[in-house]
């Protein structure tokens, strides 16, 4: 796993990023820009609404950038049957990864059988289709005890990743949540941090805490920041901390050429 305490290539960081566009006001030109940026920086995937999966698949075919679709987004209120059909349709149209929102309302109400059935149906289809499933537990609405319980339930039902947030709640990913999830889950279950990751320093913090993937709409900005840091370090004109534009940046982060 990439850690900011050792040297790394900028391209290695890009492969931790799901370049994301889920704003309700986003238009076709906005998605075309997202796809172009994903190719330019070789991001791991683009994360888009189900209706944008066909255009994403068409644009990104042969580039190595995967397509991820959100399901039950952003509140998770849909019935298990509706969510499952939404996920199936996205996979049929070419989505290689599914980010589904857990039914937080049911979980908070103690309806754990419903939550388990909700996840299990999509997990089963993802396994059959050899797709990756991430379950968003929306940490901002949960106590630490509930976060652990939700994460372990998702893991037990077959989630490949537990994801912290939709980015639509009152707060997004925190380092403490990533650390808690990493400590609570089996090594095979990965973690995606999402929501509020808009700077290079924040991205590195999340990875160092244990996140395997980052969901962010600021992927291009983060990569531009890293390239600026790279140029500064190469020229010897600034330190890594200065180049990150924040005082809490890792002081020993150095970019290889």
Active site (catalytic) residues: 99, 163, 192
CA end-to-end span of the chain: 19
Whether residue 216 is preceded by a cis peptide bond, meaning omega within 30 degrees of 0, is: no
Under DSSP, is residue 24 helix (H, G, I), strand (E, B) or coil? coil
Close Cβ partners of 201 (under 8 Å, ≥ 6 residues apart)? 244, 245, 246, 248, 249, 250
Give the span between the Cα atoms of 193 and 173, in whole angstroms.
6
Residue 18 neighbours by CB distance under 10 Å: 26
3-state helix, strand, coil in the chain (%, to 5): 50, 15, 35
> What DSSP designation does 171 have?
-
Backbone φ and ψ of 225, nearest 5°: -65, -40
Give the span between the Cα atoms of 45 and 231, in whole angstroms.
26
Residue among 144, 83, 68 at smallest CA distance from 117 = 83
Under DSSP, is residue 28 helix (H, G, I), strand (E, B) or coil? helix
Residue among 10, 28, 83 at smallest CA distance from 253 = 10
Q: Hey, what are 200's tokens?
A: 């290079």
């Amino acid at each position: 796993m990439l850690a900011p305490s050792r040297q790394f290539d900028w391209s290695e960081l890009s492969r931790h990023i799901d370049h994301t566009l889920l704003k309700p006001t986003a238009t076709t030109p906005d998605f075309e820009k997202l796809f172009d940026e994903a190719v330019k920086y070789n991001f791991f995937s683009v994360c888009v609404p189900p209706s944008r999966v066909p255009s994403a698949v068409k644009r990104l075919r042969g580039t190595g950038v995967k397509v991820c679709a959100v399901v039950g987004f952003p509140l998770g209120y849909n019935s298990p049957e509706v969510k499952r059909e939404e996920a199936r349709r996205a996979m049929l149209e070419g989505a290689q990864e599914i980010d589904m929102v857990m039914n937080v309302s049911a979980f908070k109400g103690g309806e754990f059988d419903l939550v388990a059935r909700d996840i299990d149906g999509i997990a089963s289809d993802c396994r059959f289709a050899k797709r990756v499933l991430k379950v968003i537990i929306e940490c901002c609405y949960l106590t630490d005890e509930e976060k652990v319980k939700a994460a372990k339930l998702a893991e037990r039902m077959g989630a490949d990743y537990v994801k912290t947030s939709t980015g639509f709640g009152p707060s997004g990913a925190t380092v403490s949540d990533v650390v808690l999830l990493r400590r609570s889950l089996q090594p095979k279950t990965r973690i995606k941090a999402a929501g509020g990751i808009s700077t290079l320093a924040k991205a590195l913090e999340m990875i160092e805490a244990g996140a395997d993937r980052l969901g962010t709409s600021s992927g291009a900005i983060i990569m531009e920041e890293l390239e600026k840091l790279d140029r500064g370090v190469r020229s010897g004109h600034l330190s890594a901390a200065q180049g990150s534009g924040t005082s809490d940046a890792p002081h020993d982060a150095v970019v290889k050429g």
